[in-house]
Chain A
Amino acid sequence: MALPLRYSLRNALVRWRSTVATVLGIALVVFVFVLLQSLAAGIEKSSGNTGDPRNLLVVRKGSTAESASLIGRQNLQDIRYLPEIARNAAGEPVISADVLVLVNLPRRLHNGEANVLLRGVTPRGMELRPQVHLVAGRWFVPGHREVVVSAKLARRFANFDLGSSFKSGSATLTVVGWLAGGGSAFDSECWLDADECRSLFERDMYSSFLIRPVDAAAAARLIDRIENDRRFKLKAEREVDYYRKQTMTAAPIKWLGNFLAVTMSVGAVFAAMNTMYAAVGARTREIGTLRVLGFRRRSVVLALLLEGGFLALLGGILGCAIAFYWNGYTTATMGMETFSEIVFEFRVTPRLVTEGLIFAVAVGLIGTALPAIRAARLPVIAALKAI
């Protein structure tokens, strides 16, 4: 016969003084794990959330990022009038040749400098990226030295307030608006007119083409055509696929999260073991009584495992709750692909919470296993005699 569930739960709570530290310890382990993984999840989410599935992005073959890609002007002429590319109402092909420039700019509060991604974008390119909209000010006027910066970057960089200007190279750019990318990678970009950008930074080449094909079949044909044409050393893929792969930055963070979780859990297992050994030691007589009453060994083991698992679960819930406090908080680091500041949010996803809880319970069960077995092996008579 199994012991009632309540026996385990009440036992875990009645000696709260000695268990509170164990619960807290496990909570902090889970907290560190969930927090670091939520950073990685935030990076993945922001790039996974970017782009339109109908669009194709063309970059130079071999380049890992749009910002490191260079495409000659002749290629634009060769691709522009291909029949697979859709036309807008005015009959122009829907293709945008963008230029990306990395600019080193000072942070607010004299907090060092960082690279910011400037995108020289055409009117077509703006139509192709409906995720981006203006939240303050106005759009740049083509031919003027004006820039619209991401509102999220504006909080981090000096001279990004509306109306202020910053100098880069020979150019002085005035901030006329703030844009928002709806939680996409565009939240880490600043936009200005493509031709203006190319002349200011002396760029003869383009960085990427963004294309809207006529339909899905045309998209497949176009990818085929661009990849196989000997004249182009270009790579075409769906815009969403390109962004989904831009998650190199998340890898080391994930690794660190896992490493810390594993190492810390060793300490947490020791702690859980100590607590449960003490629990078993203190209840020797009680356990003997249970056995005399006819409870089987495995019932005792199960009851103790439940007790340890329950303690750990409490810790896990607490840890997730603390980590959840940071959910949605915006932070930034240097993107490994773009070498520029990328902003993203902590994302405590349901999956992470589940993983955290499973992890906590596992620590609890491993820590309880040996003490529980010891309790079950106690000779009944000796246990009853114990003080």
Chain B
Amino acid sequence: MNLPGFILRNAFRNKRRLALSVSSVAVSLFLLITLQVALRELTNPINDEGSSLRIIVRNKVSLAQPLPVRQLQVLEKIPGVVAVTPFSFFGGLYKGDEKFTSFAQFAVDPARTLPLLADAKIPKAQLDAWIADRTACIVGQMTADRYGLKLGDRMQFTGQIYPCDLDLKVVGIYHGTADDRNLMFHQAYLDELLGNLGTVGTWWVRASSVAEAPLVTERINQAFANSSAEVRAESERAFVLGFVSMWANIKTLIGGISIVVVFALLLVTVSTMSMAIRERFRELAILKALGFRRRELFAFILAESFGLAMCGALLGAGGAWVMYHYLLNIQKLTNGLFIMFEVTPKMMGLAFSVAALLGVLAAIAPMVTVARTSVVQGLKTLD
């Protein structure tokens, strides 16, 4: 029998324990990856060219404070601004949803919105229909799929922020943006329902180039400084990051907890793996008596423990990757809370490093004992 064969035989000697140990490593690494993916998705918004070109302008007081519609003329004249549209978050409850509607509704000016929806794929005819009809709306493919919407359907919303209800007709379905969920309708329709207050929620601006975007942001902030409605302009990404920062301590807490989770499971795994070797002291003593060197015994122990950890990693991390990439529809499962749920190579690397570390750590305690125990003592050991 050769050495790898010997190690393999040893590993498979107690099949039940092998299975239990490998599965607990797998479970912990699966959880590690899941938490990492979730945390990344919650704290790290999409970063593509479009999102750095688009700028959101809100009232400096807070997002809840409206902006006067007269700012439009000023915004349009600012150098580097390609397009501007009102962008009012309606935040309504879709008819049939109990407490919470998972997609946002925005009031915009359809004729001005096209440059801001550069990535969206939508037939020209549908766009024209939207622009032509004041009560028309377009919805993202994901929302359309989720609620089984088709062209011509009507959608009713109860206003939770605005004191009015919407009755909209679906005339277009778009796809191809980073988040195909949002519904867009006419600001003019909202104004009519509210009795023309002369305000909008925020402005949505497109800058001429990525390089120009920070300058445009600065110019917009300057343009309204010391006016009655001062603004805060920021890139779409910075805007979303601002939201993330409002989660405050919860974010840190969840990060901390994922460390505890992984630590807890690793602890348990280390103990079970060293148990497997402790049980074998008598044999190791015999090997020693036969003339095997200490470092050869170390190699046996390390190879077994390392191999076991790696099997767990393959199963857990690999399983997570396969599951989130191919098997599960996370969007559907989490009601649209998570869109991408992408397992990055970095996370896989992390999981495998943790497993490697675990394999080494689990081997240390038994190795120390083996080194310390004399052959006679080892032969005397009963369990």
Contacts and interface: CB of A to CB of B under 8 A. Distances in A.
Interface of A: 18, 20-22, 24-25, 28-29, 31-32, 35-36, 39, 60, 62-64, 67-68, 70, 101-104, 111-115, 168-170, 201-202, 233, 248, 253, 256, 260, 263-264, 266-268, 270-271, 273-275, 277-278, 281-282, 331-334, 339, 341, 387
B234 to A, nearest CB: 11
Contacts of B261: 28, 32, 260, 264
7 contacts: A32-B264, A36-B257, A114-B248, A267-B28, A271-B24, A271-B272, A334-B243
Given A101-B65, A248-B99, A29 B246 contact: no
Contacts of A332: 248-249
Given A22-B271, A28-B267, A62 B61 contact: no
Contacts of A111: 245
A103 B246 CA distance: 13
B17 A25 contact: no
Contacts of B16: 277
Name the residue among A29, A264, A274, A339 with the largest chain B CB count within 10 angstroms: A274
Nearest to A18: B275
Nearest to B249: A331
B31 A263 contact: yes
Given A32-B257, A102-B63, A274-B20, A113 B267 contact: no
Interface string B258-289: 00110111011111100100110000000000
A63 B257 CA distance: 34
B105 interface: no
Interface string B25-60: 001101100100000000000000000000000011
Contacts of B64: 67-68, 101-102, 115, 339
Contact of B65 (A22, A201, A267, A273): A201
B163 A70 contact: yes
Interface in B93-148: 93, 99-100
Nearest to A266: B27
Contact of A115 (B28, B246, B269, B382): B246
B129 to A, nearest CB: 29
Contacts of B93: 62
Contacts of A341: 246, 248
A25 B248 contact: no
A18 B271 contact: yes
A20 B268 CA distance: 9
Interface stretch (B2-10, B154-162, B299-307): B154-162
Contacts of B272: 21, 270-271, 274-275
Contacts of A29: 264
Contact of B61 (A18, A70, A103): A103
B335 to A, nearest CB: 11
B250 A333 contact: yes
Given A18-B275, A25-B267, A113 B245 contact: yes
Interface residues of B, number: 59
Contacts of A36: 257
Given A101-B62, A274-B20, A339-B63, 16 more contacts: A21-B267, A21-B270, A21-B271, A62-B160, A102-B62, A104-B63, A104-B232, A113-B246, A168-B61, A264-B261, A264-B264, A266-B27, A267-B264, A275-B272, A331-B250, A341-B246
A169 B65 contact: yes
Nearest to A273: B20
A22 B268 contact: yes
Interface in B230-251: 230, 232, 242-243, 245-250
A6 B62 CA distance: 65
A242 to B, nearest CB: 15
A334 B27 contact: no
B163 A60 contact: yes
A274 B99 CA distance: 45
Contacts of A20: 271
Contact of B275 (A62, A278, A331): A278
B228 A260 contact: no
A274 B17 contact: yes
A324 to B, nearest CB: 16
A113 B63 CA distance: 12
B21 interface: yes
A277 B21 CA distance: 12
B254 interface: yes
A333 B64 CA distance: 18
Contact of B230 (A102, A169, A267): A169
Contacts of A101: 61-62, 64-65
B17 A277 contact: yes
A101 B65 CA distance: 8
A241 to B, nearest CB: 16
Name the residue among A63, A102, A270, A333 with the largest chain B CB count within 10 angstroms: A270
Contacts of B268: 21-22, 24-25, 267-268, 270-271
Contacts of A21: 267-268, 270-272
Nearest to A204: B197
A201 B28 contact: no
Contacts of B30: 263
A379 B163 CA distance: 77
Contacts of B327: none
Interface string B163-184: 1010000000000000000000
A113 B242 contact: yes
Contacts of B99: 248
A63 B269 CA distance: 50
A18 B274 CA distance: 9
Nearest to A342: B248
B253 interface: yes
A199 B92 CA distance: 28
The 7 closest A-B pairs by CB, nearest first: A21-B271, A28-B264, A112-B245, A25-B268, A271-B268, A102-B64, A270-B24
A169 B60 contact: yes
Given A62-B159, A248-B99, A273-B20, A264 B265 contact: yes
B383 interface: yes
Nearest to A330: B249
A334 B161 contact: no
B160 A68 contact: yes
Given A28-B260, A39-B253, A270 B163 contact: no
A260 B257 CA distance: 10
Nearest to B273: A274
A201 to B, nearest CB: 7
Name the residue among B34, B158, B163, B232 with the largest chain A CB count within 10 angstroms: B163
B202 interface: no
Interface in B80-100: 91, 93, 99-100
